[in-house]
Amino acid sequence: MLRKDIERILISEEELDKTVSRLAEEIDRDYSSPDKNLVLLCILKGSITFMGDLMKKLHVPVEIDCMKVSSYGSGTKSGGAVKIILDIDRPDISSCDFLIIEDIIDSGNTLSYLTGYLMHKGARSVRTCTLLDKPSRRVVDFTPDYRGIEIPDEFVVGYGLDYAEKYRTLPFVGILKPEIYLK
Ligand code: IMP
Ligand code: MG
């Protein structure tokens, strides 16, 4: 039913699984020291699927937390200003090594804002991990620490990513037919 709105599959379930495994290995390797207090910070809602799959593949001890932000106004264009809709609420920020888990980096506004926000709150360290990267759309100069797959400037949905709150449940990442959002 949802699939009829997809022009083509850009990243298959198999490729997503391989990519998430590779990222989990990189994170395991970097956070293996016992003095780390790794907190995976899921950015709701788009990163839910990625976060769920990634955390199952990690061997290092982690805590999880969530924040909800919005930078996308409506439609398929980034709004620029980042608004915090749900904040973290924990007393131990100064002992946390945050790893922000994001579905996709586009303009870079969200990850650059959140990194600054958490550092300002006194986090011990902040790094970023994004499944997808659209480097051609960058507005602020920002390089994620962990990066899954570079994609072209196409609006994609599935594997957590939505258009107008739909398509998050698709198990692959697909390009939406433009007639859906040009309607
Ligand atoms: P940025 O702040 O411009 O880097 O935007 C990041 C956010 O925009 C992501 O967390 C997504 O929620 C959203 N986004 C960017 N590109 C896409 C896309 O192709 N499909 C769905 N959401 C997207
Ligand atoms: Mg998002």
- The protein residue whose alpha carbon is closest to atom 5 in ligand 1 is 106
| Residues 19, 39: Cα–Cα separation, whole Å | 21
Which atom of ligand 1 lies closest to the CA of 163?
A: 21
| Residues 161, 129: Cα–Cα separation, whole Å | 16
Residue 18: cis peptide before it, omega within 30 degrees of 0: no
Residue 162 maps to a domain: no
Tokens of 153: 């400037």
Query: What would the mean pLDDT of 129-147 be, rounded to a whole number?
Result: 97
Predicted TM-score (pTM) of the model is: 0.96
133 CB under 6 A from ligand 1? no
**Degrees, nearest 5: CA angle 116-135-27:** 60
Residue 42 maps to a domain: yes
Residue 177 maps to a domain: no
Contact indicator for 76, 163 with CB cutoff of 8 Å: yes
Instruction: Confirm whether 106 is a catalytic residue.
Output: yes
Ligand showing the shortest atom-to-Cα distance for residue 80: 1
Residue 150 sits at φ, ψ, to 5 deg, of -80, 135
| Residues 171, 80: Cα–Cα separation, whole Å | 28
| Residues 116, 43: Cα–Cα separation, whole Å | 15
Residue from 53, 103, 106, 133 carrying the catalytic annotation? 106
For 144-161, the pLDDT digits (tens) are 999 999 999 999 999 999
Say how many domains are in the chain: 1
For 60-119, the pLDDT digits (tens) are 999 999 999 987 555 666 667 899 999 999 999 999 999 999 999 999 999 999 999 999
100 CB under 6 A from ligand 1? no
- The alpha carbon of 105 and the centre of ligand 2 are apart by a number of angstroms equal to 8
Residue 92 maps to a domain: yes
97 CB under 6 A from ligand 1? no
**89: containing domain:** 13-151
Residue 175 maps to a domain: no
Residue 163 maps to a domain: no
Contact indicator for 10, 174 with CB cutoff of 8 Å: yes
Residue 182 maps to a domain: no
Which CATH number belongs to the domain containing residue 49 in this structure?
Answer: 3.40.50.2020
Sign of CA dihedral 121, 122, 124, 126: positive
Residue 20 maps to a domain: yes
- The protein residue whose alpha carbon is closest to atom 3 in ligand 1 is 107
Beta bridge partners of 67: 43
Contact indicator for 71, 83 with CB cutoff of 8 Å: yes
